[in-house]
């Protein structure tokens, strides 16, 4: 009888611990470039801020840390990530990087290596990772643009990481949704960007 009660109590404790872990507030670290840093926008109108608002509206207990910097490359993100992991201890890391590598015509293998390294260090710090992919404009040449776009899918499949294939889906083909530089989306585009990201992000957030 005593052994039974001991096993029952141990099982109850484990179930309670699992429930608490599942319901505990989560910290989400967004590591991105100007597309996530609200470049040229009023504060609170970018997709990351909209994500935070959506989580609050749906009563999902999560803290968003936006560590995005305009002009950031995969190399810069790779160098900054370890300190950010130590500081914030995120449950989830969203990597939205690569656009500046592409715009500068940097080698695709170098960007891929940096993204893989970021995934590895995030997971070693007990964080889940989601990738946000990007396409380059066609004037960069078909070979380069296809290799660049495919890179995200290859890394995501091999690393078993959730992927948003193209964050500007439904935006890129609409010039009216871009600022005067024709590179950065207007505030009107960011709800669409969030709509592209949300279906991949939510299951990751809800997973244990």
Respond yes or no: is residue 184 known to be catalytic. Answer: yes
Q: Considering the entire predicted model, what is its pTM?
A: 0.88
Span 66-102, pLDDT tens digits:
999 999 999 999 999 999 999 999 999 999 999 999 9
Catalytic residue among 23, 33, 34, 89: 34
Catalytic residue among 36, 101, 184, 190: 184
Respond yes or no: is residue 34 known to be catalytic. Answer: yes
Respond yes or no: is residue 42 known to be catalytic. Answer: no
C-alpha 26 chain-centroid distance: 14
Quick one: which H or E segment has residue 50? helix 47-57
Catalytic residue among 23, 42, 143, 181: 181
Under 8 Å CB-to-CB from 48, ≥6 apart: which residues? 30, 32, 36, 38, 64, 66, 68
Q: Which residue has the tokens 């080698």?
A: 107
Q: Where are the domains of the chain?
A: 26-206
Domain at 26-206, CATH homologous superfamily: SGNH hydrolase (3.40.50.1110)
Span 50-73, pLDDT tens digits:
999 999 999 999 999 999 999 999
């Amino acid at each position: 009888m005593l052994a039974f009660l001991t096993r029952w109590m141990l099982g109850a404790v484990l179930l309670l611990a699992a429930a608490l872990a599942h319901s505990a507030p989560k910290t989400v670290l967004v590591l991105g470039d100007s597309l996530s840093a609200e470049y040229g926008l009023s504060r609170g109108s970018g997709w990351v801020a909209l994500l935070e608002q959506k989580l609050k509206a749906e009563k999902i207990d999560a803290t968003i840390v936006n560590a995005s910097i305009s002009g950031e490359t995969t190399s810069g993100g790779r160098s900054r990530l370890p300190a950010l992991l130590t500081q914030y201890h995120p449950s989830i890391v969203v990597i939205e990087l690569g656009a500046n590598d592409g715009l500068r015509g940097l080698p695709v293998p170098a960007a891929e290596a940096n993204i893989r390294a970021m995934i590895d260090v995030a997971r070693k710090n007990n964080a889940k990772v989601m990738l946000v992919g990007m396409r380059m404009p066609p004037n960069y040449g078909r070979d380069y643009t296809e290799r660049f776009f495919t890179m995200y899918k290859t890394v995501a499949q091999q690393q078993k990481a959730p992927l948003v294939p193209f964050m500007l889906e439904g935006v890129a083909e609409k010039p009216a949704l871009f600022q005067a530089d024709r590179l950065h989306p207007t505030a009107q585009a960011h709800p669409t960007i969030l709509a592209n990201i949300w279906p991949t992000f939510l299951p990751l957030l809800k997973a244990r």
